[in-house]
A and B are shown apart, each in its own frame.
Chain A
Amino acid sequence: MMNFLLAVFSQTWRSITETWRSQLLSLITITLSVLIFTFFYLVYVNTLQLGNRLDNDLRLIVYLDEQPDQALQQEYRRKIEKFEVERITFVSKLEAYDRFKAQLKESDDVLKDVPKDFLPSSIEIYPRRSLHSLAQLKDFSDYLAKLPGVLKVQYGREWVERFYSFVQLLRVVVLLSGTLLILTTTFMIGHSIRLTVFSRKRELELLRLVGASNSYIRVPFFLEGALLGAFGSTAGLSALYLLFRWIQGNFAAQAAQSMFAFSFFSASTLLAIIVLSTLLCAGGSFVSIRKILSI
């Protein structure tokens, strides 16, 4: 076993030292594909986080014509909780008045002559901040509007819908660039293996003649693919990080930091991307070597 590994590693090393020039193109292609994919993915992840921070704009306010008693509140709560909601708050007329007054601060004397119950009572609903529930927001508000005793449903419709379609678009772009990544990677791996097989044709023939086992022939290609994947994705992520730092240095200073703090991938996401690319390349090389050498 030890000797097997040694032999296979030295085979791999030999093959790489001989063919690295022709592998460079594959490496660059993989690096670029990883860079493109992770760029969009990073934008997507950050956009979702942005959505998470904008709590209040995702709040639905249901205005009621009557102040609901306990039983009615229970009834509403039961109906609303059929949807994915995080929190429901009932706001009575008085509470609404107090809040309004607090908002007005010094100029609250305009309220002098107004009765304290001039504002309608309402229910504030915070939908769960998942894409699914965001997508359902319109249906949800239509449903709420049809409940008995409801005057009006209000939410940052325009904004939420625009934000949602942007996220949708991003999702499509991420999926597309992911597919592109898989396609180019497997294609380039197949291509580079074909090159290696071609340049080592006589050697591979000799290996067959002296009785090399299939795995002795196959494993070096497999390792080469895995190395291409590991190096390619690491290089792609490094390039992305440089780009990220550059953007931060040049633009983030002007943007309101608290509102739009752009963050990089976590260590575990980075690791996952590298591992997945490595597996993808190793798998791709495994498939193409079986096809090309028919072993």
Chain B
Amino acid sequence: MSNEEKRPTMIDLARVSKTFPPDTHALDDVSLRIRQGEMIFLTGQSGAGKTTLLRLLCAIDIPDKGYIEIAGQDLSRATDTELQNLRRRIGVAYQDFKLLPDKTVAQNIAYSMEVSYRSRQFIRSQTEKLLTELHLLDKMDAPAGCLSRGEQQRVAIARAAANEPELILADEPTGNLDAETTELVMQLFHRYNEQGATLLVATHDHSIYDYPGSKIIKIENGRLAIQKPVGTGRKAETRA
């Protein structure tokens, strides 16, 4: 563990609160530090505040109180350009996917790479690689709107991972998937984690947390409940 402590901080939250009118305390005084290369599972009941936390991390929302730093960048002080640069280094798979239904699967995935001015070949090969990995290669040129929920979810994950981000935020990435496909997604996440990416996965799915070296963070009613490392091996006894 001492080795891990030396790694630089990827996400730093200090006393962050977010209230929605009239008085939903979606997040209440949350402090949290996530280091580079960590794999974190964010759990909690529906409505606990997981999505809210992820939205704050990618600066879609701003906190009412508290301080958020990502990769050394203070979000409240970041200029437009700094924020845009940061977003290009973060891959986000949204709970509602945010796919463009009229565009093809390949075009949807390409967006995250085009904004970083990646070459055509890179975009092409990366798209093919990810779609192969997620068993979606045959849907590459289909409009995203025609896909099933589970397929759309995988496209959203592929888009989040395509630009080789340093940080992947995934909101309920396996919500619509069967056990087998869930396994594909988790393998992908692990591959990225092994290559050094930090992963923060919000999930209800108990079956996916039991990987070595990963951590669980639980939120209850907007408050941080527990943070603990998960077991020592795959499918170990880790029920919280």
Contacts and interface: CB of A to CB of B under 8 A. Distances in A.
B111 A214 contact: no
Interface of B: 58, 60, 80-81, 83-90, 92, 98, 100, 103, 111-112, 114-120, 159, 163
Contacts of B114: 7, 10-11
Interface in A1-56: 3-4, 6-7, 10-11
B119 A209 contact: no
Interface stretch (A109-117, A200-208, A232-240, A244-252): A200-208
Nearest to A14: B107
A211 B86 contact: yes
A169 to B, nearest CB: 51
A213 B85 CA distance: 8
Given A6-B120, A206-B100, 7 more contacts: A3-B119, A7-B117, A210-B88, A211-B85, A211-B90, A213-B84, A214-B84
8 contacts: A7-B115, A207-B115, A209-B58, A210-B112, A211-B89, A212-B115, A213-B81, A214-B80
Nearest to A210: B112
A262 interface: no
Contacts of B163: 210
B80 A295 contact: yes
Nearest to A295: B80
A212 B80 contact: no
A216 interface: yes
Contact of B115 (A10, A205, A213, A295): A213
B117 A4 contact: yes
Contacts of B119: 3
**Which residue, of A11, A210, A212, A214, has the highest number of chain B Cβ atoms within 10 A?**
A210
Contacts of B120: 6
Contacts of B84: 211-214
Contacts of A203: 100, 103
B87 A211 contact: yes
Interface of A: 3-4, 6-7, 10-11, 202-203, 205-207, 209-214, 216, 295
B85 A210 contact: no
A123 to B, nearest CB: 72
Given A202-B100, A203-B100, A295-B80, A210 B87 contact: yes
A216 B120 CA distance: 16
Given A214-B84, A216-B115, A209 B100 contact: no
A232 B89 CA distance: 41
Nearest to A11: B114
A187 B114 CA distance: 31
A206 B80 contact: no
Nearest to A1: B117
A3 B118 contact: yes
Contacts of A6: 117, 120
**Which residue, of B81, B111, B117, B120, has the highest number of chain A Cβ atoms within 10 A?**
B117
Nearest to A10: B114
A212 B84 CA distance: 6
Contacts of B115: 7, 207, 210-213, 216
A216 B58 CA distance: 19
**Which residue, of A4, A6, A209, A295, has the highest number of chain B Cβ atoms within 10 A?**
A209
A203 B90 CA distance: 18
* 8 pairs of A and B residues whose beta carbons are closest in the complex: A211-B87, A211-B88, A3-B117, A212-B115, A211-B84, A210-B112, A4-B117, A213-B84
B87 A209 contact: yes
Nearest to B107: A14
A207 B107 CA distance: 12
B86 to A, nearest CB: 7
A212 B89 CA distance: 11
Given A211-B86, A214-B84, A295-B80, A206 B117 contact: no
A207 B117 contact: no
Contacts of A212: 84, 115
A11 B115 CA distance: 10
A210 B93 CA distance: 11
A166 to B, nearest CB: 56
Nearest to A214: B80
B88 A209 contact: no
Contacts of B89: 211
Given A213-B81, A214-B84, A206 B118 contact: no
Contacts of B103: 203
A15 to B, nearest CB: 13
A207 B115 CA distance: 8
Contacts of A4: 117
Contacts of B83: 211
B106 to A, nearest CB: 13
